[in-house]
Structure 1
Amino acid sequence: MANIRDVARRAGVSISSVSNLLNHRAHQMSAETQLRIERAMDELHYRPQRMPPRTSGQPTIIGLLVPSIVNPSFSALAHQVDLSARAYRYRVLLGNSYRQEEEERAFITDMFAHGVRGIIVAASDIRQTHFVRCAEQGMRIVSYDNRFSGSMAADTRLVDSVSMDNVEAGRLAANHLIERGCRQIVFATEAALTLSRSNKIDGFLAALRSHQLPAYERVIEGNASSEYGDTEMFELGRALVSRILAMTPRPDGIVAINDALGIGLMTGLRAAGVRIPQQISIVGIDNISLAGFSEPGLTSVMPPLAAMAQLMVERLIKRINDPLLPPGEFLFPPTLIGRQSVKD
């Protein structure tokens, strides 16, 4: 499904120009530019969902809370959320929680103090009491990369959930290695498991079982010095190399919990004299920009981050303007991006 970025790209204009046309500000552009945008919308069959008009005096700010902007995955998320918010003339206030409850509470307090009424919370347990109370007090929240539990009834949900299908991401990565001939496959991750990490592992193990491959002791966990290791994934990947090379039989394929850890693995393996992908193939998850510049290029499972960011911003603005709009759950399929880190 086409989005506002696709229209801007097709028309050869900025996202803000498309936004101006959608929000009845065509007087700010030439007739030729307006025609190009309208033609691009027709060619792409783009039919935008109209936002309700903003209440006079309402803050044009949303919040984004991430575990750590140092993690490239969350940097990419922040960039896409900012682009999406700008398309609707909103600004983004960014907070780093370091997965600490006191930091999350402080961020919520700051948002209320600034008059902000919508926040995106990335990779945190949205069931925590402070998030529940925040939603009950009128804050509109979108939970990113943290799906609802199966036991949560739709009529009890207070927040939106937007996530990549992490089970499918783990399955897709493992299947790709299996299809390329790998049989001794492991999953490398930080030991402190979040829901999304657990889901990726579940998909990975399901793929091994479906191909009658050994699934026991296939998850290799490392302990970072900071809880969850959000700022240490490159280093953790390097640290796991000695354990992986000591395994018997030696793995011939590795799925990394994210690209940063995967790049760290490749650096450590090359230093140990291991040829990639001839001896060990590696697949990451996230498709950060560095994946394409690593040596070799890292094959990765990609979330449709731009589309997810746009939906999250739209959901916040809609629910801010329409308090009766119920929260929803939105699951996006991943895509595998093949590079040189997996053997042919």
Structure 2
Amino acid sequence: MANIRDVARHAGVSVSTVSNVLNGRANQMRQETLERIEQAMKELNYHPNRVAQQLKTGQAKMIGLLVPSIVNPSFAALAREVDLAAKKHQYRVLLGNTYRQEEEERAFLEDMMSHGVRGVIVAASNMEKPYFASAAAQGMIMINYDSRMPGGDVYNAMPFDSVSMDNVEAGRQAAQHLIDRGCRNIVFVTEATPTVSRSHKIGGFLEALRDSGLPCEHRIIEGKALSAYGDTEMSELGRALAGKVLDISPHPDGVVAINDALGIGLLVGLRDANISVPGDISVVGIDNIPLSELINPGLTSVMPPLAKMAELMVDRLLVRIEEPAIAPEEMLFVPTLVSRQSVR
């Protein structure tokens, strides 16, 4: 079985040069040298001993990703982009479904620490919980995704980066698009359990209505999911909430859905009630999941720059693992609206 010395000899380079490639430090290397080393590893069928690497460095070439539920298409899309970004650095992603439960989050953090993982992206969770601070004190580098940290001195005391789409702007863009298309009786449909990102989207939605002189009272339609936050049942909830939308008299002519999964369910519920979209009611979602362009009618949606966000988060984790003293930052990304057939 070939070892690292065999690879170095076959490629005509030093052992340390091969080690740099194996540990993701090839950015200063000539492309021809990198290709020669990769070819040598292929010809010798060489596979690095990851256990030995971990014992030597104290960390694994893995990063963690904690999501509420991979069933939610928004988090599935995030997982894909994070995985693609990690692969560019020869890192793998260890995924955990937490269902927003504290015991699951705590257990995953402990498991990841024990496996040598030193960087974790935590999606849609309240990171003021004490076990996140405890993990950070033990050397875990974390990024808070899609749940902005509190401002002021409280934020400055938090040892985490924060990366999010500007959810206020997302809600504002969705409502403004409906207003620009002539809608005047507009509602916002969401799962009832409050989260930071949901409240920000609602805030932006109401801001657009106020700026256009439209009524803001009784504009939020909520439904309670069976699970705490509805992460696994957004489409079913959207279908059920179509009835609440149609209970309003006169019927709304525009609807913003908290996310695309709920918006797609809403389209189905409106179709079941023989309501034409966009003829009778226009619908806008938020997140722009891949399914949104495949349904009929295609769902207009506000899109986060997810690939750029994932690349930033992975890069940021790896930089701060090497330099833990770097101060955490909050990074907001501006969304864009993707127009399809669900809006008149």
Normalized against structure 1, the TM-score is what?
0.85
How far the C-alpha of 1:222 sits from its partner, in A, is: 0.4
Partners in 1 of 2:181 and 2:119 — Cα distance? 45
Give yes or no for the alignment of 1:220 onto 2:225: no
- Residue correspondence of structure 1 range 100-139 to structure 2 within 5 A: 100-139=101-140
Task: Map Cα deviations across residues 70-97 of structure 1 (whole Å, 9 max, x no partner).
Answer: 0000000000000000001111000000
How far the C-alpha of 1:157 sits from its partner, in A, is: 2.4
Task: Map Cα deviations across residues 112-161 of structure 1 (whole Å, 9 max, x no partner).
Answer: 11011110000000111111111122110000001121234564120000
- Equivalent position amino acid for 1:129 in 2: P
Task: Map Cα deviations across residues 209-265 of structure 1 (whole Å, 9 max, x no partner).
Answer: 111101011000001101100000000000001111010121000000000000000
How far the C-alpha of 1:25 sits from its partner, in A, is: 5.8
Partners in 2 of 1:170 and 1:55 — Cα distance? 47
- Equivalent position amino acid for 1:273 in 2: N
Contact 1:20–1:26 under 8 Å retained in 2: no
* Aligned position for 1:313: 314
Partners in 1 of 2:102 and 2:25 — Cα distance? 40
* Aligned position for 1:70: 71
* Aligned position for 2:31: 26
Task: Map Cα deviations across residues 296-342 of structure 1 (whole Å, 9 max, x no partner).
Answer: 00000000000000000011100100011111110000000000000
* Aligned position for 1:95: 96
* Aligned position for 2:333: 332
Task: Map Cα deviations across residues 45-82 of structure 1 (whole Å, 9 max, x no partner).
Answer: xxxxxxxxx99634111100000000000000000000
SS at match of 1:228: coil
* Aligned position for 1:257: 258
- Equivalent position amino acid for 1:236 in 2: L
Give yes or no for the alignment of 1:288 onto 2:277: no
How far the C-alpha of 1:275 sits from its partner, in A, is: 0.5
Partners in 2 of 1:327 and 1:135 — Cα distance? 12
Partners in 2 of 1:304 and 1:210 — Cα distance? 26
Contact 2:149–2:155 under 8 Å retained in 1: no
Partners in 1 of 2:191 and 2:155 — Cα distance? 32
The percentage of counterpart residues that share the same residue type is 60
SS at match of 2:311: helix
How far the C-alpha of 1:278 sits from its partner, in A, is: 0.9
Partners in 1 of 2:154 and 2:102 — Cα distance? 25
* Aligned position for 1:193: 194
Partners in 2 of 1:154 and 1:266 — Cα distance? 39
Task: Map Cα deviations across residues 249-295 of structure 1 (whole Å, 9 max, x no partner).
Answer: 21000000000000000011011100000100000000000000011
Partners in 2 of 1:311 and 1:120 — Cα distance? 11
Give yes or no for the alignment of 1:177 onto 2:182: no
* Aligned position for 2:231: 230
Structure 2 alignment gaps of length 5 or more: 1-23, 37-53
- Equivalent position amino acid for 2:281 in 1: I
* Aligned position for 2:166: 165
Aligned positions, number = 303
Partners in 1 of 2:325 and 2:212 — Cα distance? 47
Partners in 2 of 1:171 and 1:153 — Cα distance? 27
Normalized against structure 2, the TM-score is what?
0.85
Structure 1 alignment gaps of length 5 or more: 1-18, 31-53
- Equivalent position amino acid for 1:24 in 2: M
How far the C-alpha of 1:20 sits from its partner, in A, is: 9.2
SS at match of 2:122: strand
Partners in 2 of 1:332 and 1:240 — Cα distance? 30
Partners in 2 of 1:55 and 1:169 — Cα distance? 45
Give yes or no for the alignment of 1:150 onto 2:151: yes
Partners in 1 of 2:264 and 2:184 — Cα distance? 21
How far the C-alpha of 1:189 sits from its partner, in A, is: 0.2
SS at match of 2:152: coil
4+ long deviations beyond 4 Å:
none
Partners in 2 of 1:87 and 1:25 — Cα distance? 17
Contact 2:235–2:261 under 8 Å retained in 1: yes
Task: Map Cα deviations across residues 16-60 of structure 1 (whole Å, 9 max, x no partner).
Answer: xxx997452613449xxxxxxxxxxxxxxxxxxxxxxx9963411
RMSD (Å) for aligned C-alpha atoms: 1.8
Contact 2:86–2:314 under 8 Å retained in 1: yes
How far the C-alpha of 1:206 sits from its partner, in A, is: 0.6
Q: Which stretch has the larger CA shift, 230-239 or 148-157?
A: 148-157
Partners in 2 of 1:253 and 1:22 — Cα distance? 50
SS at match of 1:283: strand
SS at match of 2:144: strand
SS at match of 1:229: coil
